[in-house]
Amino acid sequence: MIDRERPLVAINGELIDGASPAVTLKNRYADAVLKAGGVPVAIPPVGGPSDLRRLLERVDGLVLSGGDDFDTARLGLGPTHAAAKPVPSAKQDFDIALAQAALELRVPTLGICYGMQLLGLVGGGSLFQHLPEEWSGKNPHSGGVVHAVTPERGSRLARVVDVPALDVISRHHQAMRDIGARWKVCARDAEGLVEAIELEGDAFVLGVQWHPELAPEGTAHDRLFRALVFAAAQRSIARRYPQVAAQVGGRG
């Protein structure tokens, strides 16, 4: 039986396409949620909009995990770059619908790498499809390179990590070119590349371009998962005890 005192956090997986499609999820994402106090559950890319809503109404939080690239042509954002390795169409379509539904239902959400780009695209942004060709910066970002990012002062990210700078592990060659309305950049690297975005307002929706689940334990990266789980726990309490939540909210 699921421990109702611990929030349930859904995590999207990768799709192995073919005659018998299957979903896979790297344990490091689930481990990070578990260590932060949540109960992780993997979700396969199946079902339609109504199924997604039912799913998101039963979980308390969401991690949009890392993955490969986007088929921008399928999104109406121009030709897909030759260097891109798009995820299967079924996964991309599912993930877009999942992110849209999560934002609509105000589900606490942490997007990681591909997951951050997913949030950015759903929010009306656009991509650099291949940094070596489309970005003037020279710092490497792929292959697990470690580099520094600086949280924007006053951002939710800055409050969560509570450090002036972070050393992060990067595994990407795509990045956000720009972001849509209601979003703000909350971290950049030394060359100005967007490294994190967050949704304006009181909902916990945060995307980071790096991989906090790969960072050593006991670092500021752990706080990202703890913040997600805390927001998910608040959502769980509000849904289970709406009268108490209304009273607390009224005092604020």
The domain in which residue 184 lies consists of 8-251
The pTM is what? 0.93
Counted domains in the chain? 1
Count of other CB atoms within 10 angstroms of residue 51: 12
Q: Which residues pair with 185 in a beta bridge?
A: 197
> In CATH, what number is assigned to the domain containing residue 61?
3.40.50.880
pLDDT at 21: 86
- Is 2 within the bounds of a domain? no
Q: Which residues are catalytic?
A: 113, 211, 213
Tell me: pLDDT of 244 over 60: no
Q: Is residue 1 part of a domain?
A: no
Tell me whether residue 24 is in a domain: yes
Render the burial of 107-142: b for 16+ CB within 10 Å, e for the rest: bbbbbbbbbbbbbbbbbebbbbbbbeeebeeeeebe
Are 196 and 149 in contact, with CB atoms under 8 Å apart? Answer: yes
Residue 200 forms part of a structural domain = yes
Q: Give pLDDT tens digits for 23-72.
A: 899 999 999 999 999 999 999 998 888 999 999 999 999 999 999 999 99
In a domain, 206, yes or no: yes
Write out pLDDT tens, residues 110-147. 999 999 999 999 999 999 999 999 999 999 999 999 99
Q: Rounded mean pLDDT of 150-169? A: 97
Residue 96 tokens read as 């877009």
Q: Is residue 219 part of a domain?
A: yes
